[in-house]
């Protein structure tokens, strides 16, 4: 495998990994009081509806029970999305730059192909063979 092919393969893998990190759904990994998994959208599009509902239900529960739980689902969603963006964008950018480099830049140290030398007019084309006599 040539270095150009290797760089192309690694760059493609980085670009795909970065793209998947950006479009894969972000969730908090735990459930709210109604046992719904809290989804936050993805790294490109935010969707805090379930997190806001969970924050509201926690506030209502705290006011009715007199407790004070320290759960802030919207802030957790924002920090999780920020982490995913901080992971996905650099991977995608490095992969895109690598693919651009593979596609645009030609290697400079490869020798250009030499034309085949024509045989001398007095020599037979294959000197190891005896000429056919008539």
Report the chain's mean pLDDT, rounded to a whole number: 83
Q: List Cβ<8 Å contacts ≥24 apart for 32-36.
A: 32/57, 32/58, 32/73, 33/57, 33/58, 33/61
The pLDDT, as a whole number, for residue 93 is 96
Count the Cβ atoms, other than its own, within 10 Å of residue 96: 15
More confident call, 30 vs 128 = 30
Give SS3 for 44. coil
Structure tokens given for 102: 């593979």
Mean pLDDT value of segment 42-50 = 89
pLDDT value at 125 more than 60: no
Answer whether 0.75 is exceeded by the pTM. no
- CA torsion, points 8, 9, 13, 18, in degrees to nearest 10? -10
The pLDDT, as a whole number, for residue 67 is 76
Banded pLDDT at 24 (limits 50, 70, 90)? very high
pLDDT tens track for 83-113: 999 999 999 999 999 999 999 987 667 666 6
Banded pLDDT at 131 (limits 50, 70, 90)? low
Banded pLDDT at 23 (limits 50, 70, 90)? very high
């Amino acid at each position: 495998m040539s270095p150009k092919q290797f760089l192309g393969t690694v760059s493609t893998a980085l670009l795909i990994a970065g793209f998947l990190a950006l479009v894969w759904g972000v969730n908090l990994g735990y459930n709210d009081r109604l046992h719904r998994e809290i989804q936050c959208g993805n790294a490109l599009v935010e969707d805090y509806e379930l997190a806001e509902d969970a924050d509201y239900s926690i506030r209502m529960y705290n006011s009715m029970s007199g407790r004070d739980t320290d759960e802030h689902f919207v802030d957790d969603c924002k920090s999780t999305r920020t982490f995913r963006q901080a992971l996905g964008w650099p991977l995608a950018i490095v992969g895109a730059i690598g693919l651009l480099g593979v596609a645009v830049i030609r290697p400079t140290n490869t020798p250009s192909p030499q034309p085949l030398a024509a045989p001398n007019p007095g020599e037979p084309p294959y000197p190891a063979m005896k000429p056919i006599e008539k």
